């Protein structure tokens, strides 16, 4: 992974995009990550990336989850605990 200060960027976006295909390029401002340039893998799709970064969509999901709990839905973690089921580790995808 490569880190570049925003103030040090001199190349075009296309140059950093090409570089981001080889290794992740993180652009920082005042020492904090601002943006990352990296390839989408075969497990990523544009729709998932777009929705996961859309504030309105995230708000809809959060409202839906809160509503489900208010109406008596049982969280999946509780169901797994109750029946002794093991779940997939969080953040990992199943390979199909």
Convert the pLDDT of each residue in 12-60 to its tens digit.
989 989 988 999 999 999 999 999 998 887 777 888 888 988 999 999 9
DSSP β-bridge partners for residue 32: 29
* H or E stretch at 11: none
The residue with tokens 């005042």 is 30
Q: Summarize pLDDT for 75-96 with one digit per residue, the tens.
A: 889 999 999 998 766 554 544 4
Is residue 3 within 8 Å of residue 26, measured between CB atoms? yes
Is residue 26 within 8 Å of residue 5, measured between CB atoms? no
3 state SS of 37: strand
Task: Give phi and psi for 34, each to the nearest 5.
Answer: -115, -45
């Amino acid at each position: 992974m490569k880190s570049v200060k925003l103030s040090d960027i001199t190349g075009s976006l296309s140059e950093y995009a090409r570089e981001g295909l080889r290794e992740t390029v993180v652009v920082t401002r005042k020492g904090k990550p601002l943006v990352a340039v990296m390839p989408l893998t075969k497990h990523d799709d544009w729709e998932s990336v777009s929705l996961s970064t859309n504030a309105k969509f995230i708000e809809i999901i959060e409202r839906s989850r809160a509503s489900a709990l208010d109406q008596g839905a049982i969280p999946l973690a509780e169901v797994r605990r109750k029946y002794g089921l093991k779940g997939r580790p969080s953040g990992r995808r199943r390979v199909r």
